[in-house]
Structure 1
Amino acid sequence: MPYRFSPEEYLNMALCYSDAGEIMLRAQQLYEERYGRVVNIRTILGAVQRFRESGSFQPRAESGRPRHPVRLEEDVLDFFQRHPVASTVDAARMFGVSQYYVWRLLRNEGLHPFHFTRVQELLPQDYAPRVEFCRWLLRNRSYNVLWTDECTFTREGIFNVHNAHYWCDYNPRVIRPDHFQHRISVNVWAGLLNGHLLGPVFLDRLNTETYMELLQRDLPELLLNVPVWSRRYMYFMHDGAPAHFSLRVRAYLDEAFQGRWIGRGSVIRWPPRSPDLTPMDFHVWGRAKDLVYGNDGHTIRTVEQLRARIVSAFDVMSSEPEVLSAVRRHCIERARQCVRQQGRHVQHLM
Structure 2
Amino acid sequence: MASYTPEEYADMLICYGYCGCVSAQARNEYIARFPGRRVPDVAVFDRVYRRLRETGSVLRRNTDMGRPRINDDDEQDNEIVQRFRADPTTSTNIVARDLGLSQWRVWFTVHTAGLYPYHYTPVHTIEEGDPARRLDFCRFMLNADVEDPDF
Instruction: Write 1 or 2 for the structure with the bigger share of helix.
Output: 2
Report which structure shows greater RCO (CA 8 Å, sep ≥6). Answer: 1
Q: TM-score, normalised by structure 1?
A: 0.18
- TM-score of the aligned structures, taking structure 2 as reference length: 0.40
